[in-house]
Structure 1
Amino acid sequence: MSDLSLTSAHAPPKEQGGLHPDFWIALLFLAGSVWLALPAIKGGVFDALSTDDAMRLVEVRDLIGGQGWFDLFQHRMDPPGGTSMHWSRLIDAPLAALILLLKPLVGMHSTEAVTLYVWPALLFAVALALVAAIARQMTNSFIPVIPAVVLAVLCLPALVHFRPGAIDHHNAQIDLLLAMILLAAQIESNVVKAALCGLTGSLSLAIGIEMLPAIGAVGVAVFGLFVWRGAPVARQAGAFGAGLAASSLLLAPALLPSSSWTTQACDAFGAPVVLLTAGGGISLLLMVGIDRYFRTLLMRIVSAAALATVLIGAFLVLFSGCIAPPFAHLDPIVITLWVNNIAEAISLPRMLQLFPEKVPGYYVFPVLTLGFAVLALIRSAASERFRWSVGIAPLAALIGFSLFQMRGAAAASMVAAPLFAASLAVLWPKFASVRNLVILSAIVSPFSLALAGLSAKPLMDVIFKPEPIGGLSPCQTLSDVASLKELPKGRVMAPVDLGPAILVETNHEVFAGPYHRNNDGMTALIRLMLAPPPAARQILSDRHVDYVVTCSATPDANIIKLAPEGLEARLARGDPPDFLERLHLDPNDKIAVWRVRK
């Protein structure tokens, strides 16, 4: 029987409310999908794209249009050289295949729209199935299954990654992490699933390294299992190590150009990550081999420590640059005006300074779940403790990561959903009926906690005295820049977050986009907007800029504050220099467009 199937002859009807759990999961999926789709239905799915979603669509179009598989540059960003992207083709490939499959039936535009709905919905369905399977695996019972799925549908921090238009990569990474946890929970009894567990970890890292702390935590848990138990789990541990190492070594040449195999790329799948994953898998295989001849706990501890020292030492020698701060290479002005304002990268202390009312919705549920799961681990029989360990370890890692970058809270909430329901079923078996757990889950869900935080905003404002911040810029969507299609192809200086939208909607080139490898383009844009007219004119000339775009509805207050006589400030108050000619393209005046007079 498949572990994703919830069919069982032993599930009492009273636990299911008279209906099979699969029915309720399907109903919750439909309800959640409709809820997530409402904004896209109202405003159009293309306007639901985030900057990263738009950039992914550009990459997919380029791939379909003939750009090379190993060519990871965005050639229309920061001309003339382009910008190297740190994303892999693993997400581009299925999106391109879906578009090419449907294009003959409904045309390119409609096909893209369908893909923007279907892809996130498919991954959302997979996420709910995995959450249900993990909840059942933890308890060998159907009781926590429906409550876990209810929690997943109410996980606000994660749901943004499953809305229509969400095609960047975070939803796939969440699914792969859930799959890895489910497979890891069965490692003790299944060699094939042990190997697949290693494969899912490699696939996630090949897409992006955001889940590295959680995947590393699962790997450490498997290492710990073998060190503690030895021979009874040797085949399974070896299979995990082989799956992790082999898949990493196969994915590298399949995804990376040969010129990058030894490059110190610390922000994406590349040599440093392959060293850790392949090296870790091979180390585990060596430990298993040593244990065949020296079968003692002490020898396993010594061999683990020695191999870990060699692996970490090799990493530090070969890729010492990877231990530097991730944005150390950026121009200080880019850090000040961009990095420090990236919403998903802010820390918990910074979140408390800016919008403390959002903290309960992001952090309380995962932390609460961690506490309950640890108690469930303590209360469990010895034979069940590892499955709890491989749930707790990645959850703890994600919570720790989210303290520095709030993006970790999304995956933490989704991982917490099955663990919370399962831990309550273990800790309070007399209370744990499906109905009781559903009610309690709804009360403590991230959705309910977010509402509680908003209700408590006046009190939190008194306690934390948050810094005043402006609202989100109204200039964000593809329709906002659609009028630029009327202009002849040229090079555009536009706000950072408008760059991907312009690339999707037009054939223009842009200088700035919200990507840390775009340091040159972002620096050029910021220095242009800070510059007084003579210096601004020189920058425009040096960069061969054709058009300048600003958000007339909300000028950049931070730049204006730093340079009251700079170009941004002058354009905002209607005092453009003579080398810029205003073009009235946008009837709503959300964006302002100037042609550069040569």
Structure 2
Amino acid sequence: MTLKPDPNGDLTGSRFTYRLAFLVALLIYTMLHWQGLGDLFTYLTLPDNDDAMRLVQVQDLLAGQGWFDMVQHRAMPPDGLSLHWSRLVDLPLAGLTLFFQQFTAPDRALALTAALWPALLFVAYLAIVGRVASRVFGTIAASFAVVAAAATPGLSFSIFPPGRVDHHSVQVICMALVISALILPGRPVLRGVMGGLVAAVSLAVGLETIVVLALAGVVLTVQHVLDHPGATDRLVGYGIALGGAAPLLFMIQTDPALWAVPRCDQLSPPVLGITSAAMAFALITYLSRETVRSKRARGAMAAVMIVAILAGLWPMLSPCREGPFSMLPPEVRHLILSRITESLSVVRMFERNPGFATQLVLPLALVSALLIWQLIGSARGARSAVSVLLVFTLLGLAGLFYQIRVMIWGLAVLPLGFGAAMAWAVGRDWGGWRWAKAALLPVVGILVIYPHVFTQSPLFAAALIGENQPVNGKLASADQNCSRRDKFDGLQDIEPMAVLAPLNLGTKILLYTPHSIFAAPYHRAPEAYWNGTLAFSGSDMDMARRLRTTRADYVLVCDGEVYGKADSIGSRLARGEVPAWLQPVDTGGGPIRLMRVDRARLAPFVNGS
């Protein structure tokens, strides 16, 4: 095998190198997740609440619930819980489940779907990353990229693990395709159309990527102003495809009765206003390309149009400027932003879990530094694609300082950026620093791919955590001892009932049992947050009032769990200390503690009589 640097410092190699790296990446993914398949197939153990709720939605769709009916009717009865998700993700999951049901039991079919779907998406993502890196930066860059995609915990364990059936994996693929459309050479109109269509799909699936998709438009606009070859054609393709496809997808997945309802958390009139404006912007820019030729004139024209668009859309977007939680009561918004892990900024996470925060920031920071180095050291004609990757990597890094939930921004581009920069650094002549090359690059590569090497070291522990660092429990990790299907076996023989349970047990009850719930971590039901938190972390009266409001039949907790403080009502119930207005129910053993509500005793307690 021959490896040789090209004039720009990039390292080229044989196709065999890339094929071998691709197989290694598949092997890494398989080895990392092989053991987890046992719990998935045996107990239907899933990564988090969203995965459980997604499978519940798929089950309901297969059971006959309407395509446009996005209400989970067993949550928050009798009205149900409205979800802001897309049937476009439910559809392939339902198709796979239906296929497997022809050969096996429904529960096993669901487990097979939950195992196969993320694996298929991972292979698709790997193929996209490898193909694009190979076309733009060479096969060695592609080899680095696919190995990073498989080995990086942020991707392998957060986005594509077995059981991950929520929409974030689809969004990561969509973002990777949009970024690819900006850097792939040739056929600019087709590349732009591809990017615009995928961007529309991404918006239909969820709005978490809207900033990335907007940045793609900004990048194309800047390239147009600077008269970058093909940029105007890409921009018009991107804008027209996005503006044309978004309304069609909106109509496909949205109940016609809700077409006029503005929503801040899903594809709806406010977002369609943005996509339509983007289409108009791109079309006007394209039509004026011959008459407006100077960079200064193009920049001025783009600025005027952007100001006009913002002025026109401002009234429509005003309810959504503060994000999807803007319409929630302040106390519920504070609860979400302070206690739900994905809603924290990385700065807040540093205070709670320095290791995890560092694992999020360090890879993107190192890749950004490598790309900046590559940008400075490359010839002018080889900087375009590197600049694009750097912009999106920096956006991913900046996004972490807003909320951890947007870590998908950086994860989508991380393998591409790492592959491009590492291949360039390996192929570059280091001059008098050649001695450092063999030592420095492997260290950087390891820290990008597996930052845990640093965060789990004694040096990190001594420097950042310290011996007296308080341990802050995460809301997302509560009730883990009660998260498997077999733990709920004792509830199967009980007539369907309404259960008040902690926040993290609600979706499990929906998935594993026929019962209804009053608590789930979804922002369209503020009361569901209170029911799953305050009712258990507060006083006896807090729970009693929630029971009176919800009219729940039973209360359920996980044995030995601490809900808030040790003396909270939930913590005491988990220890078996039950008030007179709750009656323990025998569920046959296990960690689930179930109690029936005695309304005759509850009413006098709440009323103070």
Give the TM-score normalised by the residue count of structure 2: 0.87
Q: Write the mapping of 1:453-468 to structure 2, written as runs, cut at 5 A.
A: 453-455=455-457, 456-461=459-464, 466-468=469-471
Alignment pair present for 1:450 and 2:452: yes
User: Aligned AA for 1:38?
Assistant: Q
Contact 2:366 2:448 in 1 (8 A): no
Q: Which moved more, 1:121-130 or 1:437-446?
A: 437-446
Deviation, structure 1 residue 424: 3.2
User: Aligned AA for 1:28?
Assistant: A
Report what 1:597 is aligned to: 598
Distance in 1, Cα, partners of 2:330 & 2:238: 43
Structure 1 residues 462-484: Cα deviation after superposition (integer angstroms, max 9, x where no partner): 56964322373323333333322
Report what 2:277 is aligned to: 279
User: Aligned AA for 2:504?
Assistant: D
Alignment pair present for 1:38 and 2:35: yes
SS in 2 for 1:550: strand
Q: Write the mapping of 1:64-143 to structure 2, written as runs, cut at 5 A.
A: 64-139=62-137, 141-143=138-140
Deviation, structure 1 residue 447: 4.6
Report what 1:576 is aligned to: 578
User: Aligned AA for 2:141?
Assistant: P
CA 1:487–1:339 in 2, change beyond 3 Å: closer, same or farther? farther
Identity %: 26
Alignment pair present for 1:418 and 2:416: yes
Contact 2:217 2:235 in 1 (8 A): no
CA 1:422–1:49 in 2, change beyond 3 Å: closer, same or farther? closer
User: Aligned AA for 1:59?
Assistant: Q
CA 1:45–1:176 in 2, change beyond 3 Å: closer, same or farther? farther
Q: Write the mapping of 1:187-206 to structure 2, written as runs, cut at 5 A.
A: 189-206=187-204
User: Aligned AA for 2:308?
Assistant: V
User: Aligned AA for 1:183?
Assistant: A
SS in 2 for 1:62: helix
SS in 1 for 2:596: strand
Deviation, structure 1 residue 445: 4.0
Distance in 2, Cα, partners of 1:227 & 1:18: 37
Contact 1:208 1:268 in 2 (8 A): yes
Q: Write the mapping of 1:518-597 to structure 2, written as runs, cut at 5 A.
A: 518-529=525-536, 533=540, 536-537=543-544, 539-558=546-565, 564=567, 567-568=569-570, 570-585=572-587, 587-588=589-590, 590-597=591-598
CA 1:18–1:328 in 2, change beyond 3 Å: closer, same or farther? closer
Distance in 2, Cα, partners of 1:376 & 1:430: 9
CA 1:328–1:551 in 2, change beyond 3 Å: closer, same or farther? farther
Q: Which moved more, 1:183-192 or 1:100-109?
A: 183-192
User: Aligned AA for 1:196?
Assistant: M
Distance in 2, Cα, partners of 1:194 & 1:419: 21
SS in 2 for 1:582: strand
Report what 1:517 is aligned to: 524
User: Aligned AA for 1:551?
Assistant: C
Structure 1 residues 14-67: Cα deviation after superposition (integer angstroms, max 9, x where no partner): 966894522430232133123123223256461134211000001111111111
Q: Which moved more, 1:280-289 or 1:470-479?
A: 470-479
What is the number of equivalent residue pairs in this alignment? 578
Distance in 1, Cα, partners of 2:407 & 2:365: 10
Contact 1:334 1:526 in 2 (8 A): no
Q: Which moved more, 1:501-510 or 1:323-332?
A: 323-332
CA 1:262–1:391 in 2, change beyond 3 Å: closer, same or farther? farther
Distance in 1, Cα, partners of 2:47 & 2:451: 26
Contact 1:147 1:441 in 2 (8 A): no
Deviation, structure 1 residue 326: 4.2
Structure 2 gaps of 5+ residues are 1-5, 600-609
Report what 2:397 is aligned to: 399
Report what 1:7 is aligned to: none
Contact 2:518 2:550 in 1 (8 A): no
Report what 1:24 is aligned to: 21
Q: Which moved more, 1:89-98 or 1:440-449?
A: 440-449
Report what 2:141 is aligned to: 144
User: Aligned AA for 1:419?
Assistant: G
Contact 2:178 2:199 in 1 (8 A): yes
Structure 1 residues 115-170: Cα deviation after superposition (integer angstroms, max 9, x where no partner): 1111100111111112212322332x212221221211221112222111000011
Report what 1:156 is aligned to: 153
Contact 1:76 1:510 in 2 (8 A): yes
User: Aligned AA for 1:591?
Assistant: I
Distance in 2, Cα, partners of 1:538 & 1:301: 60
Q: Which moved more, 1:198-207 or 1:523-532?
A: 523-532
Distance in 2, Cα, partners of 1:437 & 1:261: 59
Report what 1:209 is aligned to: 207
Give the TM-score normalised by the residue count of structure 1: 0.89
Contact 1:356 1:466 in 2 (8 A): no
Deviation, structure 1 residue 431: 6.0
Distance in 2, Cα, partners of 1:431 & 1:449: 27
Deviation, structure 1 residue 336: 5.3
Q: Which moved more, 1:184-193 or 1:47-56?
A: 184-193
